[in-house]
Amino acid sequence: MRYLVVADVHSNLEALEAVISDAVEAYDSVLFLGDAIGYGPNPNECVERLSRFADVVMLAGNHDLAAVGAVDIGMFNDTARTALEWTRGMLSADVARLLQSLQPRLDQPDFALAHASPRNPVWEYMLERYQASPNYQAFTQPLCLIGHTHVPTEFAQTTAPQGEVNLRIPRGGDSTGLAPSTRYIINPGSVGQPRDGDPRAAYGILNTDAETFDFRRVSYPVEVTQHKIRVAGLPDQLAYRLAIGR
């Protein structure tokens, strides 16, 4: 089975469309790791596009949960909160209902899925090696896919014998062979608001037959999204950061 792995779309329709075009025919099914909305100008369109895939599993992220009142909007910084308040006013009833039905973590036989981290699927930013151990204990499968930090990241630990945790920040075009007796926590990076200094949309392709995970990047018309952000009256910083990928 080949999975298109996408996270943190954040209402950026141009980035999402570019990923879908770039990944064409490389996948059978879609795994969406949460944060469809927040920050960007097209919340309804992004949720609708994600839900239209023939075969898709969708998680809720912290922004999705806040937009439908399931977590406290006071947990967010000023810019994120301003965008969330704008988003709440824009959401259609159907999209709000769909977001309300989503969970921040799901377990499948081959892998776990969590928006932020296995142990804290709504809020934890998994960026450091010391965070790995308690998180490996929070799932049993060989692989957990996460999002939330907007930085492509790979944690790997051999289990027999138990080795050190290796932490790597993969670049676009990198491919990981998923080794036996190794457990992985992998973040494909963010579609709609990358924060690793590369402004291109990030996504992954998981192939459970070939046992590979490919880290991919694709350019999209950033200036179109920036223009929409400004026209919507959203904070200008949200437009600016897209061009630098921070």
Positions in the binding site for Zn ion (CB under 5 A)? 8, 35
User: Which DSSP state fits 142?
Assistant: S
Contact, 147 vs 125, CB < 8 A? no
Structure tokens given for 133: 């151990």
Whose Cβ is closer to Zn ion: residue 84's or residue 206's? 84
CB of 190 to Zn ion, least distance (A): 6
Contact, 194 vs 12, CB < 8 A? no
Judged on CB neighbours under 10 Å (0-12, 13-18, 19+), 141 is middle
89 CB-near residues (< 8 Å, 6+ apart): none
Tell the residue number behind the tokens 């999705």, with chain if given: 64
CB of 191 to Zn ion, least distance (A): 10
Whose Cβ is closer to Zn ion: residue 8's or residue 14's? 8
CB of 194 to Zn ion, least distance (A): 11
CB of 182 to Zn ion, least distance (A): 27
Whose Cβ is closer to Zn ion: residue 12's or residue 157's? 12
Whose Cβ is closer to Zn ion: residue 44's or residue 157's? 44
